Amino acid sequence: MQLKIGTRGSKLALWQAQHVADLLKAGGAEVEIVLIETKGDKILNQALSKIGSKGLFTAELEEQLYEQKIDLAVHSAKDLPSELPEGLEIIAFGERENPQDVLISLQANLKLSELDADAVIGTSSTRRVAMLRHYFPKVKIKDIRGNLQTRMHKLEHEGYDAIILAFAGVHRMGYHQHIAAYLPLDMFTPAVGQGSIAIEISNTLSTEKQHFIRAKINHSPTEACLRAERAFLKRLQGGCSVPVFGLAQIENQKISMHGGIIGLEGEVLIQERQTASVEDAEILGLHIAEKIFEKGGKELLQKIKATL
């Protein structure tokens, strides 16, 4: 069996594509990796929230799926919109890495709680900006764009005291030595899908290839968690630029999820926690979304979208 994998060209994206390729090769497939540049890779001088988030890191890969130039696209699951274009679907989720955010600094053991008003923290995420403003209102926040290597260079040369990144990328790129702190999940709850790889295909792909890809890549516990998170995100209609957060975890054969939304300035934080059976993962995500709406989330969402 021959399979073409579409991926963005950053070192992290290539790591993920190669990881998927290795799993497919181990099953006997012949694999080719195809590099595809996305809009999000080209526009680096604007904040993500200012250039629109729909398909920012995925649209060009999806075009290649439609045109059958690639068989599967490898994404960071957190980059995928809650609703996919017609005819496309997620067929597998890779086993999730630690989903935490981490504080990256050249200063060992730096603590957010000890930073003064002159400290500068870099992030391009509206969620992280809002959480910093909510929990640590003293620190200065400066937008930072680019791949992980670019951000590390900016940390060293452009006056940042620290930057916030997902542990998964830091781990995969080998920057552990610069982790000053692991940010607590109950405060810095991650973006939906953070830490997992998602495999997207066109539903015109042969059944044989679909079954093969799913069998070699999909991690069932991760899939259950991300189905809950993505159902939550879809109900809220939250995009990459909306500060929505959600994390589902499986323990003792139950799935628990913490999800919510936070105002752009950190002024309002609405959150909910619930537990259900693993079989009801998507229902759990929907229930949490409805609770968020009941607590004022609908009005907050409208305010955020009117501002962005």
Beta strand segments in the chain, E: 2-7, 30-35, 72-76, 88-93, 101-104, 120-122, 140-142, 162-166, 179-182, 197-202, 244-251, 254-262, 269-277
Buried b (16+ CB within 10 A) or exposed e, 131-151: bbbbbbeebebbebbebbeeb
Secondary structure class of 161 (helix, strand, coil): coil
Provide the token pair at 204: 């015109």
Same domain, 2 and 18: yes
CB 141 within 8 A of CB 117: no
**Residue 59 located in a structural domain:** yes
pLDDT in tens, 112-143: 888 888 889 999 999 999 999 999 998 999 99
Three-class DSSP category at 90: strand
Residues 155, 278, single domain; the answer is no
Question: Does 188 fall in a domain?
Answer: no
What is the helix (H) or strand (E) element at residue 304, kind and residue range? helix 298-307
Which residues form the domain of 146?
101-182
Query: Do 62 and 200 share a structural domain?
Result: yes
Same domain, 267 and 121: no
Strands 101-104 and 162-166: antiparallel
Q: Please check whether residues 228 and 306 belong to one and the same domain.
A: yes
Number of domains in the chain: 3
- CATH number of the domain enclosing 227: 3.30.160.40
* CATH assignment at residue 156: 3.40.190.10
Residue 186 CB partners (closer than 8 Å, separation 6+)? 258
Is 187 part of a structural domain of the chain? no
Q: Out of 79, 101, 116, 161, which one is annotated catalytic? A: 79
Is 79 noted as a catalytic residue in this protein? yes
The answer to whether residues 2 and 81 belong to one domain is yes
- How far apart are the C-alpha atoms of 188 and 16, rounded to whole Å? 24
3 with 87, same domain: the answer is yes
Q: Which two tokens stand for residue 59?
A: 């649209």
Alpha carbon distances (Å) from 273 to 220, 237, 288? 22, 19, 7
- Say whether both 207 and 257 belong to one domain: no
Tokens of 144: 């930072």
Is residue 191 included in any domain, yes or no? no
Q: Are residues 74 and 62 in the same domain?
A: yes
Distance CA 189, CA 273 (A): 12
The candidate with the shortest Cα–Cα distance to 78, out of 233, 194, 223, 216, is 194
What is the number of other CB atoms lying within 10 angstroms of the CB of residue 269? Answer: 17
Q: 227 in a domain, yes or no?
A: yes
Do 158 and 246 fall into the same domain?
no
In a domain, 176, yes or no: yes
Q: What is the pLDDT along the chain (308 residues), one digit of tens a residue?
A: 999 999 999 999 999 999 999 999 999 999 999 999 876 555 444 454 444 554 567 889 999 999 999 999 999 999 888 889 999 999 999 999 999 999 999 988 788 888 888 889 999 999 999 999 999 998 999 999 888 889 999 999 998 999 999 999 999 999 999 999 999 999 999 999 999 999 999 999 999 999 999 999 999 999 999 999 999 999 998 766 899 999 999 999 999 999 999 999 999 999 999 999 999 999 999 999 999 999 999 999 999 988 87
> Do 86 and 206 share a domain, yes or no?
yes
